[in-house]
Amino acid sequence: MYGARIIVVKDEQTVGKWAADVFEQVISRKPDCLLGLATGTTPLTLYRELVRRYHRQMLDFSGIHTVNLDEYVGMPPENHQSYRYFMEKNLFQQININPKNTHLLNGLAGDAKSECRAYDRLIDELGGIDLQLLGIGQNGHIGFNEPSDNFYLQTHEVTLTEETRRANARLFAEDEIVPSQALTMGCGYIFAARKILLLAIGSGKAKILQRALFGQVTPQVPASLLQLHPDVTIIADEAAGRLLPECATESVS
Ligand code: GLP
């Protein structure tokens, strides 16, 4: 790994605290920065910690802009399964961010291609992403960039793999349909972020984390692209970090 700091901490709560420290550093250096945000269960302890620090007046989000990685196609923002709903509930409505500064892809866009082009333009206009937060899918996906023969650079529409749909099904009720299409920021825009923070929690992520960080760089494991980025921080709990070589990691409590 080139330019990466890999930190293994004891548990999920500590992942949130260390990750919040990274956010705090970036925000204090640049109070009008562009944050790239993620959904899933992994960033929940981080978002809780950011809210806590906001209430303690340690963080001010008034100048911050955000872009999220992805959204399900056909999902209205008010649906509790949409990523817009997730972000409103877990972060945006609990901090002093200007709602106009929070951007997610529109899963209801009639013309997905122009929605995607407009999203890339928006990121460019906002000056590029200062800090991109990532989780990792069990197949190595980042955002919804699924294993493939190429790294897709731009924002695009994807068909989710069965594996991803099965993994996401745990968050859906039995009578709800797990979407099969999504819009996702591309690997190029993720890679162009000035700083990347990848979080991994739980033993289910151990194998793929090891493969992504120490295996071959290949679009079959989209997260492996991070090996080439000059400024990546990985924070894993002990369960997710258990297969990483000790010599390459910092263990902290
Ligand atoms: C989803 C999201 C990803 C996320 C991944 C892992 O597919 N699109 O951004 O990283 O799932 O989710 P979790 O954090 O719940 O394990």
Residue-by-residue pLDDT tens, the chain, 253 positions: 667 999 999 999 999 999 999 999 999 999 999 999 999 999 999 999 999 999 999 999 999 999 999 999 999 999 999 999 999 999 999 999 999 999 999 999 999 999 999 999 999 999 999 999 999 999 999 999 999 999 999 999 999 999 999 999 999 998 888 999 999 999 999 999 999 999 999 999 999 999 999 999 999 999 999 999 999 999 999 999 999 998 888 888 7
Strands 65-68 and 195-200: unpaired
Cα–Cα distance for residue pair 110/115, rounded to 1 Å: 8
Q: Best mutation site among 12, 39, 70 for ligand 1, i.e. most ligand atoms within 8 A of its Cβ?
A: 39
- pLDDT for 115 equals 98
DSSP string, 20-52: HHHHHHHHHH-TT-EEEE--SSTTHHHHHHHHH
Does the Cβ of 144 fall within 6 Å of ligand 1?
A: yes
Six-digit token pair at 252? 């902290």
- pLDDT for 119 equals 98
- pLDDT for 251 equals 85
Residue among 106, 146, 229, 237 flagged as catalytic: 146
Residue 171 CA to ligand 1 center (angstroms) comes to 11
Residue among 65, 141, 156, 229 flagged as catalytic: 141
Distances (CA, A) of 67 to 3, 50, 133, 143: 24, 17, 10, 12
- pLDDT for 2 equals 65
Does the Cβ of 39 fall within 6 Å of ligand 1?
A: yes
Count the Cβ atoms, other than its own, within 10 Å of residue 111.
Answer: 9
Tokens 């996906």, located at residue: 141
Residue 149 CA to ligand 1 center (angstroms) comes to 21
- pLDDT for 248 equals 86
- The per-residue b/e assignment along 47-62, b for 16 or more CB within 10 angstroms, e otherwise, is bbbbbebbeeeebebe
- pLDDT for 200 equals 98
Whether residue 101 lies in the annotated active site = no
Strand partners, 8: 236, 251
Residue 30 CA to ligand 1 center (angstroms) comes to 27
Six-digit token pair at 13? 């709560």
Residue 200 CA to ligand 1 center (angstroms) comes to 10
Residue 137 CB contacts under 8 Å (≥ 6 apart), including other chains: 146, 164, 167, 208
Residue pLDDT, tens place only, 148-196: 999 999 999 999 999 999 999 999 998 888 999 999 999 999 999 999 9
Whether residue 141 lies in the annotated active site = yes
**Could you give the 3-state DSSP secondary structure of residue 101?**
helix
Does the Cβ of 225 fall within 6 Å of ligand 1?
A: no
Residue among 60, 88, 139, 163 flagged as catalytic: 139
Whether residue 68 lies in the annotated active site = no
- pLDDT for 31 equals 98
Does the Cβ of 70 fall within 6 Å of ligand 1?
A: yes
